[in-house]
A and B are shown apart, each in its own frame.
Chain A
């Protein structure tokens, strides 16, 4: 792998600083911006006594840098506070919800890749023609549509009115109990396959199609647009012309030589849209009652559950930084021209 040790160390150090930065910013958001944080902490109906206790618990009477110290200490000890809504530790809640979201997001990205890349290539091959214009407008439309609105419309039309697909949830609970399905990894598609439980697998697939499709619209548009512009560029390179002059079949030129230089940055851009898609999942999960991180964070937002909101934000931000790191490594690994 063409990645130097210095680079790895440098990036890991940077990652630590980014996470610290995220923590400092969330600290400011929760402790400095609200005029009286103890009100948020103790809830809307707190008594004078409870407010006083909240001030002590939050160390609000200490100087700011001491407060920050306590905040970081809490974070690294693994207690991310207690959710006001579920009354259990936030980190535990988040980790329970994480697999459902990852399954949804990974499915969405698979769809985005499988549909976006061919669309982009098709568009590039028809550069400037009507087909290209149509694909471009469609992809711009995909990036302009509020994800919650599409989710709502699709759920109503396909799920409720037509009754073609389940309108919400991850799996039919009755089927889970009657077939003795047990989650192992938390990825239901994987778990049901491992256990050879075809009935549950089919049911999970039916549940995931709609939310995954809605969530994939943005990354799909991105992949297609990226693929199109890179393909146009690559097809004008001299090495492609040489191949054509030598009489290499067009299929081979496209799939073996051109696509290879396009696919890596496309995957990279998909990786970078991961963070945005995770936030999109907040809304899609709320609409489809999908019991993941987004549903948890969404419910937390609707019930002003601040420890949970902040926990979800920190977790997603850390995830986002990690993904960026992995994308860069993958980039170097897949593309021999990149040396880090």
Chain B
């Protein structure tokens, strides 16, 4: 906790990192409250359409314009924050739920079981990122849950490898031997003593990965294998304005901008954390300027 305070302090002193922190926290808040602050809920949820208001350019009444069904794009983008948050957090949580136990067992047990588990992990890592998710999403069919599952099934190997590496080093620490000498059973050592001490970098990485998960989910939607309409997921909103973009640029432009800003926030924060945690760069900070 003291360390967290230190990080926050360091982040606060750098305007770029501070921007990341501000973006991420506002995104989370927006994602939580979005459904309750909509000015045109039926537009946002895609339930109503009005022919007389179609394809209106941005104005005071419709800051982001209206789409081809006359729905207010601003409200749709606003509600999109909720779906992006659900997808991002869902993907990371499900991936952790798959990846952490596999990495923990592989790292702690080692031996043949460990090798077998890590070989399976390597097989999944042999796919280029996103590609496996595209294939999975295509066979699972469009849907919010299916999108989360498809992304998680291609995402977990990263966590299981990270946990594996952590656990492999933590399990050799003297205090683990001490626990064994005292006579604690293996399961208890594994879950209560090794796991908690291996989780910090994993949780940090997972938190920052929410941005990448949002980015990849938007790509799935754009390719037509992600979230189905009328859900106002940002990638889907961009793709819904695709064929109209030269006449009504605002339909695709603003949701895309929302993705950029959100993912940028997570990545700026990630950059800050990496820089602060990297001991080599930290040393250089105190050295001469190159």
0/1 string, B127-155, CB within 8 A of A gives 1 = 11111101110111000000000000000
Interface of B is mostly: helix
B242 and A309: CB pair below 8 A? no
A282 contacts B223, C-beta separation under 8 Å: yes
Q: Which of A1-9, A89-97, A271-279 contacts B (4 or more CB under 8 A)?
A: A271-279
B260 touches A275 (CB 8 A): no
Stretch at the interface among A62-70, A203-211, A230-238, A328-336: A230-238
Question: In the complex, which of the residues A24, A128, A148 contacts B289, with contact meaning CB atoms closer than 8 Å?
Answer: A128
Is the Cβ of A320 less than 8 Å from the Cβ of B126? yes
* Bound complex: CA A105 to CA B271 (Å): 27
Max chain A CB contacts within 10 Å: which of B136, B223, B252, B260? B223
Within 8 A of B (CB), among A122-141: 124-125, 127-128, 133, 136-137, 140-141
Q: Which one of A112-120, A171-179, A297-305 contacts B? A: A297-305
- Residues in B lying within 8 Å of A, measured CB to CB: 16, 122-124, 126-132, 134-136, 138-140, 211, 215, 218-219, 222-225, 235, 238-239, 242, 245-246, 249, 252-253, 256, 259-260, 263-264, 266-268, 271, 280-281, 284-285, 287, 289-290
A-side residues, CB < 8 A to B, are 18, 21-22, 24-26, 29-30, 33-34, 40, 124-125, 127-128, 133, 136-137, 140-141, 143-149, 152-153, 155-156, 160-161, 229, 232-233, 235-236, 274-276, 278-279, 282-283, 286-287, 298, 301-302, 304, 306, 309-310, 313, 316-317, 320-321
Q: Is the CB of B271 within 8 A of A317?
A: no
Q: By CB atoms of chain B within 10 A, which of A128, A143, A148 has the most?
A: A148
- Which of A146, A156, A310 makes the CB contact (< 8 A) with B238? A146
Select A25's contact among B123, B138, B253, B256, beta carbons within 8 Å. B123
Number of A-B contacts (CB under 8 A): 154
Find out whether the CB atom of A236 lies under 8 angstroms from the CB atom of B16: no
Q: With A and B bound together, what is the CA distance between A287 and B246 in angstroms?
A: 13
Inter-chain CA distance A233–B259, complex, in Å, is 33
Pick the residue among B127, B223, B249, B268 that contacts A22 (CB under 8 A). Answer: B127
Q: What are the nearest 7 A-B pairs in CB distance?
A: A275-B128, A21-B123, A149-B256, A144-B263, A144-B264, A18-B126, A279-B130
